[in-house]
Amino acid sequence: MVNLQSRSLRVYADSLEYLDQTRLPQAEEWVRCDSPEAWQHAVKHLAIRGAPLIGLSAAFVLAQYAARHPESEWQAVSDRLRATRPTAVNLMYCLDAMEACFAQGADALAERAKALFEEDRALCQRMAERGADLLASGNRVLTHCNTGALATAGVGTAIGALAIAKQRGIDLHVYVDETRPLLQGGRLTAWEMADLGIPYQLITDSMAASLMAAGKVDKVMVGADRICANGDFANKVGTYMLAVAAHYHQVPFYVVAPYTTVDPACATGATIPIEQRDGAEVRGAAGAFGEVVWAPSDAPVWNPAFDVTPAKLVTAWILDTGVFDSAAIARGEHLQGWR
Ligand code: MRU
């Protein structure tokens, strides 16, 4: 029996199933995950991905491991889960919350994981409504990577705002950045736009600046993997380039995220750990469509999964707790009540 379900996660009493995001949109394949090792493999390969979903799925994996191994060393397992991907702070947020329950036993861990999942669903709804308040019919919105229901327990972050706008009858046109190298935009966001019935056009990342120069973009909305105390934030590589172009063309640039993505301990973007990934992802592409390699097989590659956008390029931070401009961020308003 499924105890909890989102667009990309099914939680059973003693295991999980995830929608394999490496197979979308060609196939909707649910895969069972019943060990920390299986989870680590899925997360490293981005079968489970998106900042909130990584943290929430880790919480369930840890709770289920604890129920199966009451005598074992839970901290060591949590440490391994924590080290799987370094950039999205939601993983650390969820594991911190779980570790705080270790002394109360396995049942408390299961309850805590469930509460985290339900919290994320509510946070998504709140930030998405705030984001939708900033949208009007006729807006042409550019987004990057995938920030929808696939990546969270609820409606999503930036895509959540688009989804709520759609529910309110606001007519949008969305430009979907393909998001090289792993194509979360081309594969996942395009699929979600069709699912939501939102008109969209797919572009390659390199087309965004000229689209802005042509006056065709009214707003940019993206998600985040970690927001620093000063408002700098990490998101999928290519976000910074978009922010620079938006700033130059005076296009409002919004970041949409839950408070669980804010890291008060990270003073500036310079201290965010950025995940480096295998060069094979840039030399070619692999996935449900097979494997193709276009670069020399030994071409040296630089492949950071994320980049950092400085706060000064952001028009506003749309969190579940409020919409903050740069003056509010400078006053630390986004940190109030945190943890
Ligand atoms: O490498 P990914 O696909 O996990 O990266 C995801 C992103 O960068 C998203 O924009 C971010 O996690 C916000 S999702 C709600």
Count of CB atoms within 10 A of residue 170's CB? 16
Residue 225 alpha carbon to ligand 1 centre in Å? 6
Residue 50 alpha carbon to ligand 1 centre in Å? 4
DSSP bridge pairs for 308: 234
Any binding-site annotation on 50?
A: yes
DSSP class of residue 304 equals B
Pocket perturbation via mutation, ligand 1, pick of 146, 162, 178, 318 by most ligand atoms within 8 A of CB: 146
Burial 93-128 (b: 16+ CB within 10 A, else e): bbbebbbebeeeebebbbebbbebbebbbebbebbb
Q: Which runs of consecutive H residues, i.e. helices, occur in 206-303?
A: 208-213, 239-248, 280-283
Grouping H, G, I as helix, E, B as strand and the rest as coil, residue 184 is helix
Tokens 């990309």 sit on residue: 8
Any binding-site annotation on 44?
A: no
| Pocket of ligand 1 from Cβ distances under 6 Å | 46, 49-52, 88, 145, 147, 151-152, 157, 184, 223-225, 235-236, 305
Pocket perturbation via mutation, ligand 1, pick of 187, 227, 236 by most ligand atoms within 8 A of CB: 236
DSSP class of residue 324 equals E
The confidence score (pLDDT) of residue 336 equals 81
Residue 246 identity (one-letter amino acid): A
Nearest Cα residue to 6 out of 148, 107, 143: 148
Run of H or E residues at 120:
helix 106-133
Grouping H, G, I as helix, E, B as strand and the rest as coil, residue 283 is helix
Residue 128 alpha carbon to ligand 1 centre in Å? 16
Any binding-site annotation on 114?
A: no
Count of CB atoms within 10 A of residue 174's CB? 23
CA distance 114 to 105: 15
251, 217 contact by CB (below 8 A): yes
Question: Which atom of ligand 1 sits closest to the CA of residue 54?
Answer: 4
Predicted confidence pLDDT, tens digits, the chain (339 residues): 789 999 999 999 999 999 999 999 999 999 999 999 999 999 999 999 999 999 999 999 999 999 999 888 999 999 999 999 999 999 999 999 999 999 999 999 999 999 999 999 999 999 999 999 999 999 999 999 999 999 999 999 999 999 999 999 999 999 999 999 999 999 999 999 999 999 999 999 999 999 999 999 999 999 999 999 999 999 999 999 999 999 999 999 999 999 999 999 999 999 999 999 999 999 999 766 678 999 999 999 999 999 999 999 999 999 999 999 999 999 999 998 664
Any binding-site annotation on 49?
A: yes
CA distance 124 to 195: 18
Nearest Cα residue to 188 out of 152, 225, 134: 152
CA distance 169 to 335: 33
62, 74 contact by CB (below 8 A): yes
Residue 154 alpha carbon to ligand 1 centre in Å? 15
178 Cβ neighbours under 8 A, 6+ residues apart: 185, 186, 202, 203, 204, 205
Nearest Cα residue to atom 6 of ligand 1: 50
The confidence score (pLDDT) of residue 288 equals 63
CA distance 237 to 180: 8
Active site residues: 225
57 Cβ neighbours under 8 A, 6+ residues apart: 9, 16, 18, 33, 39, 43, 48
Residue 233 alpha carbon to ligand 1 centre in Å? 12
DSSP class of residue 149 equals G
CA distance 89 to 266: 10
33, 60 contact by CB (below 8 A): no
The confidence score (pLDDT) of residue 265 equals 96
Nearest Cα residue to 174 out of 132, 203, 148: 203
Question: Which atom of ligand 1 sits closest to the CA of residue 235?
Answer: 8
The confidence score (pLDDT) of residue 19 equals 98
Nearest Cα residue to atom 10 of ligand 1: 223
ipTM associated with this complex: 0.98
